[in-house]
Amino acid sequence: MLIGVIADDFTGASDIANTLAKGLPGQGGLRTVQYLGIPVEDAAADVDAGVIALKSRSIAAADAVEQSLSALDWLLRQGCRQIVFKYCSTFDSTPAGNIGQVGEALADALGVKGVVACPAFPGAGRTVYQGHLFVKDKLLNESGLQNHPLNPMTDADIRRWLRQQTRSEVGHVSVDVVRDGPKATATALEAAANAQQTLVIVDAISDNDLVSIGEAVAGHRLITGGSGIAIGLPANFINRGLAKGNSSAGIGVRGPDAILAGSCSGATREQVELHKARHPTMAIDVDSVMEGRTRPGDIAAFLLRHEGQAPLAYSSGAPDAVRALQEKYGREKVAHALDQFFADTARELVRSGVRRLVVAGGETSGAVVSALDLGALAIGPEIDPGVPVLVSDGPEPVALALKSGNFGSPDFFTKALERLVGQ
């Protein structure tokens, strides 16, 4: 294995797995497998890139560090030459963690400093300029992410935000340096390392910037960022003859379908509203779930009754409604109850024969795939930027699309179900 990725949630893992498998146009990417949690057995010999999906984004920092170091140990045993710590392109974290703590812990374990920290993903509208994170044309803290129910982002200056989570000062490499070329970027990162700066925010406005950064870190043991930071990494190994390049196959599965949406992001709410106009849809009453009046079997029964009609069940709500529920029951209690509810619903669906499943929301996706225990997932073609087709192994494979809340076009749900069929 050449590249090992530690992802802090399941949708983010499939996002960067897609990036590594796709590679650069005309060249292809790496043979990539996504693992749901830390594997017990060694990877297959033909795997170029392994992506370990953790559910560590919103847990206590100490627990996130412990899990990430365990993942690092497994990846190093597979012979990985480069490690990527993947977090959300909107830098989802509180001032108490977990990006800084995990990044520093991995850097300490590998004995490195001057480590890139770049959440940019221009294809999804995330760019970094002068150390500030933008979502399309808005600063992060004015984009709606300030209302995130678990990790509200109230400061777009991610150098300042990250410094609250780290022991050492946080460096910065401007886009002007990046556009001077890979050598200039490498020199700036070396200077940051000499100044004992462990993590360094690196600006990136375009995919070309990310490709240039990728070339600059060809020999680095550790990189951190969103999935965009991996755009240029496969080429480093392909150009050195260590990998052949690979195109994502048109894999998929035929069979009954269902959609579960637990994200409260603006993009997901828009997708839900569009889908409701033409397909069977059920809103999940969170009060009823919390009080035990609505059970997973009720939702599964509705979705199964509408097999073949792209049925959707969702708990997505506007920020004010979400805050009201959190105040009534407690934020963690609501989050845990809904995660478990969606997990139990998905388990019932697959047990009843559903073979194509679309899930919206990082936390929801993590809960669902953990419950299904599908093992390693093959990476198929891209549905929308950052969201590939995923297919489990075994006699009864399941095809999945795991979508971060803010990802996907308005018609994502129907598009995803179609792509999950394969070719």
| Strand-strand pairing, 115-118 and 199-202 | parallel
3-state helix, strand, coil in the chain (%, to 5): 40, 20, 40
Who's near 32: CB < 8 A, 6+ residues apart?
A: 17, 20, 21, 47, 48, 49, 50, 51, 379
DSSP string of 145-161, one letter each residue = GGG-SSS----SBHHHH
> What stretches of 277-310 show up as alpha helix (H) in DSSP?
286-290, 296-305
* Tokens read off for 281: 């849809």
* Tokens read off for 416: 């995803």
Using CA atoms of 158, 163, 168, 173 in order, give the dihedral in degrees to the nearest 10.
Answer: 20
CA-CA-CA-CA torsion sign (114, 115, 117, 120):
positive
Give residue-wise pLDDT tens across range 76-123: 999 999 999 999 888 878 787 899 999 999 999 999 999 999 999 998
* Tokens read off for 262: 């637990």
**pTM score over 0.85:** no
Question: In this predicted structure, what is the pLDDT of residue 152?
Answer: 77
At residue 63, what are phi and psi to the nearest 5 degrees?
Answer: -70, -40
**CA-to-CA distance for 195 and 157, rounded, in angstroms?**
21
Question: In this predicted structure, what is the pLDDT of residue 404?
Answer: 84
**CA-to-CA distance for 169 and 351, rounded, in angstroms?**
50
Per-residue pLDDT, averaged over 110-139, amounts to 94
Question: In this predicted structure, what is the pLDDT of residue 167?
Answer: 94
Confidence grade of residue 249 (pLDDT, cut at 50, 70, 90): low
Give residue-wise pLDDT tens across range 21-62: 999 988 889 999 999 899 999 999 999 999 999 989 888 999
Per-residue pLDDT, averaged over 135-145, amounts to 83
Helix/strand/coil for 282: strand
Question: In this predicted structure, what is the pLDDT of residue 96?
Answer: 79
Other Cβ atoms closer than 10 A to 412: 24
Taking Cα atoms as reference points, which of 5, 14, 84 lies closest to residue 403? Answer: 14
* Tokens read off for 76: 């190093």
* Residue with tokens 């478990």, as numbered in its chain: 340
Measured in whole angstroms, the distance separating CA 357 from the mean position of its chain's CA atoms is 17
Taking Cα atoms as reference points, which of 282, 303, 414 lies closest to residue 350? Answer: 303
pLDDT(394) > 90: no
pLDDT(407) > 90: no
Q: How far apart, in Å, are the Cα atoms of 277 and each of 16, 39, 334?
A: 32, 42, 28
**CA-to-CA distance for 24 and 28, rounded, in angstroms?**
6
**CA-to-CA distance for 385 and 375, rounded, in angstroms?**
24
Measured in whole angstroms, the distance separating CA 176 from the mean position of its chain's CA atoms is 28
Question: In this predicted structure, what is the pLDDT of residue 247?
Answer: 62
Query: What is the set of domains in the chain, with CATH numbers?
Result: 3-239 (3.40.50.10840), 257-419 (3.40.980.20)
